[in-house]
């Protein structure tokens, strides 16, 4: 692949997990990568063999100034950004009732505001280029929700999805595409050292406690292969047409399809009631019968 044909990637959270796998997959595909992390030396050590095709940069995504500085350095080095990947993120475990407010907010700062800051810093570059792809890492939980113990993380992922839908509508005329990635469980550090499990009161053992045991304390390991996922993403962004949402993993597909069916069934069951709220619709109408156990 010629230097002219290779893509320039800007990836956050590159030192481990999905970020590291994506750096490797993009480089193996012949592309160039701006690999950002809080500890860029770890990236430099891992990918030093690729020479000037990889640019490790320090980046705290919660800082708007740091995001702008990193984007400027990327463009100064490679001349452009073709694929922006907002991957940096983490989750800590705690019931909402007993969550530490500062910890809850800090997670949101990284998981949502980090996406906002980096995206906003890169948008002028992508707009002027008239091309580019923004890849936002969410989770199937950001579509389905309801995982006890990680309210801050899932709330942020729902916010990322809403933000990305608006972003896609606003930037489409500039040739900028947006894809939200929604994985299920993968063999990354997400539920390992990256996750802090706070005290779980007995009252929440059957919800938060059970989820923690299933996800973090399971010896089975996650089903998803980060290397395969990264290769799928690298291949997908090379297409002329990309999905607005890319599910990754068997559980992600199953959960998303089940959730969509339940949504449709509920909307259909309550359709007459919902329509009756408008002035011109028949009112009142009978509520749907309650299901008996």
What are the per-10-residue average pLDDT scores of the chain (293 residues)?
78 94 97 95 93 96 98 98 96 95 96 98 98 97 93 97 98 98 86 79 94 70 87 98 97 97 98 98 97 83
The question of whether 218 is a catalytic residue gets the answer no
Tokens of 88: 């940096």
3-state secondary structure of 221: coil
Per-residue pLDDT, 55: 97
Per-residue pLDDT, 191: 61
Per-residue pLDDT, 221: 61
Check 7, 94, 139, 157 and give the catalytic one: 157
Query: Kind of pairing, strands 54-58 and 83-86?
Result: unpaired
Per-residue pLDDT, 185: 87
Per-residue pLDDT, 75: 98
Distance set, CA 67 to CA 76, 80, 118, 119, 174 (Å) = 14, 15, 5, 9, 22
Check 153, 164, 184, 204 and give the catalytic one: 153
Check 138, 139, 147, 184 and give the catalytic one: 138
Going along the chain from its start, the domains and CATH numbers come out as 8-248 (3.40.50.720)
Terminal-residue alpha carbon distance, the chain: 62
The question of whether 259 is a catalytic residue gets the answer no
Per-residue pLDDT, 237: 98
The question of whether 138 is a catalytic residue gets the answer yes
């Amino acid at each position: 692949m010629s230097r002219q044909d290779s893509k320039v990637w800007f990836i956050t959270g590159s030192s481990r997990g999905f970020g590291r796998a994506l750096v490797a997959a993009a480089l193996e595909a012949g592309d160039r990568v701006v690999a950002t992390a809080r500890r860029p030396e770890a990236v430099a050590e891992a990918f030093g063999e690729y020479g000037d095709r990889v640019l490790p940069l320090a980046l705290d995504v919660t800082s708007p100034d740091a995001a702008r500085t990193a984007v400027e350095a990327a463009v100064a080095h490679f001349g452009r950004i073709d694929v922006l990947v907002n991957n940096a993120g983490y989750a800590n475990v705690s019931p909402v009732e007993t969550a530490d407010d500062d910890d809850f907010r800090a997670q949101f700062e990284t998981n949502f505001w980090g996406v906002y800051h980096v995206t906003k810093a890169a948008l002028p570059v992508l707009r002027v280029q008239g091309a580019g792809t923004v890849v936002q890492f969410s989770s199937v939980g950001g579509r389905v929700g309801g995982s006890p113990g990680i309210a801050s993380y899932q709330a942020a992922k729902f916010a990322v999805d809403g933000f990305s839908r608006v972003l896609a509508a606003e930037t489409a005329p500039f040739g900028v595409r947006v894809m939200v990635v929604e994985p299920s469980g993968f063999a990354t550090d997400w539920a390992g050292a990256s996750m802090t499990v706070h005290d779980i009161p007995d009252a929440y053992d059957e919800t938060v406690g059970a989820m923690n045991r299933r996800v973090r304390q399971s010896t089975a390991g996650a089903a998803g292969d980060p290397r395969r996922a990264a290769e799928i993403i690298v291949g997908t962004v090379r297409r002329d047409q990309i999905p607005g949402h890319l599910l990754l993993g068997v559980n992600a597909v199953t959960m998303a399809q089940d959730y969509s069916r339940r949504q449709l069934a509920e909307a259909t069951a309550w359709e007459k009631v919902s329509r009756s709220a408008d002035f011109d619709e028949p009112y009142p109408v009978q509520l749907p019968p309650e299901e008996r156990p």
